[in-house]
Amino acid sequence: MQENRAWNRLKDEELIETLKSMDTSELYPANAQKVYEALKDKYDANDLPSVRTVGRRLRSLLGKSDEELDEITDENGIGIIDKGKYNFGFKKANKKGTYITGYWYDEKDGEEGGSSKYLARFLSDAVIYSKGASRGYPEGGPKDTTPPQVILEEPASFTKNFDKKRVNIYFDEFVQLKDINEKFIISPPQKKKPKPRLKGKYVQVEFVDSLKPNTTYTLDFADAISDNNEGNPLGFYRYVFSTGNEIDSLELSGQVVNAESGEPVLNVYVELYSNLADSMPLLEVPDYVAR
């Protein structure tokens, strides 16, 4: 009964708006789990539709049988349905299969309803075809050397009295995360390290562990964020917030040197402990960590 009520509450328009807000695309489709996560903030816990319900509604929104989908699915498992004011895309695990791995929304451009994204896809295919017929390469414009820019942070960096479960960082173009597991650090460190997740034009960091009260935290991405096409790095990006009323300066000056040679050491992590016992690095996470 509860599942039926959730099914009736979840409207097609809401699913479309959610896919639109997630910046989904053929390159970054969203599966039922991702759409479910995006819907969490819109429902009370008791009213939240299940992942299964979201998946069924997304499949229903296609409005076609499995056989009809097979006819419009290309060799890469990709299909596009004209919904009048917009295109509704889907990606299957394989052309003749029934398992759909993701969906995306694409707003139409121009009076004839042609989509810029699919025009780009057509031109890309045309270039590949021409390369097969000739060893020449088409001349393009100047190489993109502009790094991505942060256009929005939710909540804003340097927020005080922070009480959120996640942080969203939005960019002006699609980005990628390079070696994020090695480069990303949170200070003070947590036993369960949050993992940044790429969501097209934004990066989301969700906290698994609880945050300490009256503490200033730093999310350090180093140079892991770059644009999706040319790999232009954003630079060393940090996000700062405090769970209390003040932002700590987090400044401590010093120099790291090799204990034997006395020479400076670069690109290392520095861990700070309030407990100076020799065994602490083996038993506890540090109070702070810096690069």
Quick: pLDDT tens for 82-137: 888 888 888 887 777 778 888 988 876 544 444 444 444 444 444 444 444 444 44
What CA–CA distance (Å, rounded) separates 36 from 188? 31
- Strands (E) located in the chain: 78-82, 86-92, 100-107, 150-154, 166-171, 175-177, 185-187, 195-198, 202-206, 216-222, 225-227, 237-242, 270-272, 288-290
Quick: pLDDT tens for 243-289: 999 988 766 667 777 777 777 877 666 766 666 666 666 656 666 66
C-beta atoms surrounding 148 within 10 Å: 21
C-beta atoms surrounding 15 within 10 Å: 21
Alpha-helical (H) ranges within 99-245 are 116-133, 180-183
> Is 154's pLDDT higher than 60?
yes
The two three-digit tokens of residue 126, written as one number? 């045309």
Residue found by looking up tokens 């400076």 in the block: 264
> Is 5's pLDDT higher than 60?
no
Quick: pLDDT tens for 198-253: 887 899 999 999 999 999 999 999 889 998 888 888 888 889 999 999 988 766 66
pLDDT (0 to 100) of residue 108: 66
Quote the pTM value.
Answer: 0.47
pLDDT (0 to 100) of residue 53: 83
